[in-house]
Structure 1
Amino acid sequence: MVVDTATNTLFVSNYQANTVALLDGLSHEVLKTVDVSGNPCAIVFDQERKTAYVTAERGDKVYAIDAISGKIKTSFDVVGPYEMVVSSKTGWLYVTSDSTGRVFVIDPESGSTLSTLHIEAPCGITINREKDIVYVSSETTGKVHVIDGRTNNIVATIPVEEGPRGMAVNPETDTLLVINTFSNSVSVIDEAENRVTDTLTVDNGPRRIAVNPNTNTAYVISLVEGSLGFIDLNTNTIIESVTVPRPYDVAVDSQNNLVYVSNPFSNQLYVVEGFEREIVTPRPGAIAAEYIIIGVAVGVVAAGAAAGFMILRRRSGKDTEGRE
């Protein structure tokens, strides 16, 4: 799940339905639906090239989708693709393959593999786009590997806590945040020194994290606890935790200060307003049952708007609700 902040377009993958949906991030209307075989999973967006890339986890492919036309431009073979980032400087893709213990560096223009890095159980991946530094977490070793995007070499290894998975970068402060699933914590890392400067305790079963650099706020989803935690990165403190049933993935629209959280077990997408803590969620049954979501995915109505959104507004300590 990823947001193009320039057009307010949300790209989401429907794992079991084998589609990728382009949604209006403000109205939640489905603009286009693209057929993609092989169980689409991770999605990244290249703003410069107006292209979305999606991994087909069981199809051993990565697809390139034109963001304007909504059509597949090309595809190329990758063994066991899972997570992925794209470099805004080179346009290269960095694709983790946990089944093979590798990270593939791919030139999407030619589809050729430029480099292959061997990392045990590569799981999460993120990138500092300004510095072109890629970070890969190894879930079984408790380490984060630092890759220089200029040379595609591993230049450092940072020990964190148990079960590192999702990661996010705040480019404004050059801070890397790492989810430690088995330790129920978040490691705060100084990118300049490649060292942990703080460790924060979060709700049970944290899985993924996203950052809004404009507000210096991080959002942590905890699958076991069923929550979305708000971290003030100015003070490295949890400022609030909102109940979100069985969250699985999170994405941020930094321009509109919206947070998107998917629930793959009820086929729902939650939209949280960053300042007001306003939660928008489709009613149960509003989404077609065949659109099962898993990983970076969200169920959507086959065509038209995902109607019947419920709005929970938190005002003065009281909850009120409405519909749109």
Structure 2
Amino acid sequence: MPVWTSSDRQPPRALRVAVVIAVWAALAAACAEEPGPSIRAATPARPQVSTNGNPAPLSAPAGDGGGSQPVDVYAFDGANQFSPAVRRARQLVYVPNSDSNTVDVIDPARFTVIDHYVTGRNPQHVVPSWDLSTLYVTNDLANSLTPVDPTTGRIKGPNIPVADPYNMYFTPDGKYAIVVAEALQRLDFYDPHTWQLRMHLPVDCPGVDHVDFAADNSFLVATCEFSGKLVKVDLATPSVAGYLTVGGMPQDIKLDPRGEVLYVADMMANGLHLVDPVRFVMTGFLPTGKGTHGLYPTRDATAMYVSNRGEGSVSLVDFATRQVRRTWQLPGGGSPDMGGVSADGSVLWLTGRYNGEVYAISTRDGSLLARIRVGPGPHGACVWPQPGRYSVGHTGILR
């Protein structure tokens, strides 16, 4: 197994993004039409994956592709549907400030920053552990994770060395932590308790970024923002199962409640690609707004909030109709990026990536409840605790 050092790293992310945006701008006309699929390997069989004692998902008759599917992927994520594992967690919002190497901690009841600490160079996301006991700050350029105790809201130990943790996820059975090593162009599988590296999985698509998992937990699909591709990974092996070209600059990715559609935010195409996760083909495109970026299901799983970072708006997409219900504009503008929904479903929390602020948005009518100043470059904020049985990562994807 190769050992990686800082010499393996590519240029800083901001420079890479600027270069890629310039290239895509030159190709904008070519990207205007919906690209056709390009699959490089067959979809593997979908074995059942254990959830380590968690309740088995609800099942429905087999659909296209075979196997049982959960009736509702988000069945355990309803309002205040907490696991006993989070009963002592403080209700806080953790904001990693990528440009100041810090985390700001917000009291959501008072809309006020109550704590601030240094983590490591270039913190990108705050990620709940699979067992919900720890929050990890992914310090991308420091090659480390900072563990945070959610019962105190404070750092609870020394930084953990891992290579290039731009983002992080957990396999649904809890066996592996998957570090998204974007600059190294691979997914790294770690033991989530000892943090020993188990395997590298190189991917043939620059800019590997965000991840979501199949309804039956047998595979994942990751976006690759610098190549306009998606990569599908069989979790039984683990190995790459195929690639799909969607074009543009794919960002966040979320499964619909029935496991039938993957929504892929495209910051360049200003909308959502719709992808059949089993057949791994594109099935449509839905415009939302300029700079489409983050995706967050509602607590009742009937719709999804979509942050349009380039125009300071949030769109609400209906899962049943696959159409935009409405779009809310932030008063005074902004750059809504990543975050999460409050446990009771009443507030959508999003960072203002280019404005050094966090937005608390009412999910009742889209009104701005608060605009909170934080450090420069706020990115993947985590609203905690969240409903659900276990975490598959990012800023709080629970099932």
Matches within 5 A, 1:39-188: 39-46=122-129, 48-69=131-152, 70-90=154-174, 92-119=176-203, 120-128=205-213, 131-132=216-217, 133-188=219-274
Count of residue pairs brought into register by the alignment: 291
Cα pair distance change 1:239/1:49, threshold 3 Å: closer
Deviation digits for residues 219-253 of structure 1 (CA, Å, limit 9, x no counterpart)? 22222222111111111111211123232423332
Cα pair distance change 1:51/1:263, threshold 3 Å: same
Question: Structure 1 CA distance, aligned partners of 2:376 and 2:311?
Answer: 22
Cα pair distance change 1:26/1:129, threshold 3 Å: farther
Give the alignment partner of residue 249 of structure 1, picking from 322, 331, 337.
Answer: 337
SS at match of 1:73: coil
Match of 1:272 in 2: 361
Match of 1:307 in 2: none
- Paired amino acid for 2:164: G
The answer as to whether partners of 1:250 and 1:259 remain within 8 angstroms in 2 is: no
Cα pair distance change 1:130/1:29, threshold 3 Å: farther
- Paired amino acid for 1:218: M
Give the alignment partner of residue 296 of structure 2, picking from 197, 207, 210.
Answer: 210
**TM-score normalised over the length of structure 1:** 0.78
Question: Structure 2 CA distance, aligned partners of 1:75 and 1:129?
Answer: 31
Cα pair distance change 1:16/1:112, threshold 3 Å: same
Question: Structure 2 CA distance, aligned partners of 1:247 and 1:266?
Answer: 7
Cα pair distance change 1:194/1:88, threshold 3 Å: same
**TM-score normalised over the length of structure 2:** 0.65
- Paired amino acid for 1:28: F
Structure 1 residue 254 displacement after superposition: 6.0
Cα pair distance change 1:47/1:279, threshold 3 Å: farther
The answer as to whether partners of 1:83 and 1:95 remain within 8 angstroms in 2 is: yes
What is the aligned-residue identity percentage?
17
RCO (CA 8 Å, sep 6+): is it higher in 1 or 2? 2
The answer as to whether partners of 1:207 and 1:222 remain within 8 angstroms in 2 is: yes
Deviation digits for residues 13-33 of structure 1 (CA, Å, limit 9, x no counterpart)? 122343334434444344554
Question: Structure 1 CA distance, aligned partners of 2:294 and 2:173?
Answer: 25
Question: Structure 2 CA distance, aligned partners of 1:16 and 1:181?
Answer: 21
Cα pair distance change 1:275/1:195, threshold 3 Å: farther
Question: Structure 2 CA distance, aligned partners of 1:150 and 1:173?
Answer: 19
Q: Structure 1 regions of 5+ residues with no counterpart? A: 299-324
More strand by share: 1
More helix by share: 2
Question: Structure 1 CA distance, aligned partners of 2:150 and 2:234?
Answer: 28
Question: Structure 2 CA distance, aligned partners of 1:278 and 1:23?
Answer: 19
Question: Structure 2 CA distance, aligned partners of 1:77 and 1:46?
Answer: 16
Question: Structure 2 CA distance, aligned partners of 1:178 and 1:229?
Answer: 14
Deviation digits for residues 127-171 of structure 1 (CA, Å, limit 9, x no counterpart)? 338633322112233221122333322223233232212212334
Question: Structure 1 CA distance, aligned partners of 2:96 and 2:206?
Answer: 23
- Paired amino acid for 1:121: P
Question: Structure 2 CA distance, aligned partners of 1:9 and 1:128?
Answer: 26
The answer as to whether partners of 2:339 and 2:351 remain within 8 angstroms in 1 is: no
The answer as to whether partners of 1:186 and 1:200 remain within 8 angstroms in 2 is: yes
Question: Structure 1 CA distance, aligned partners of 2:277 and 2:116?
Answer: 38
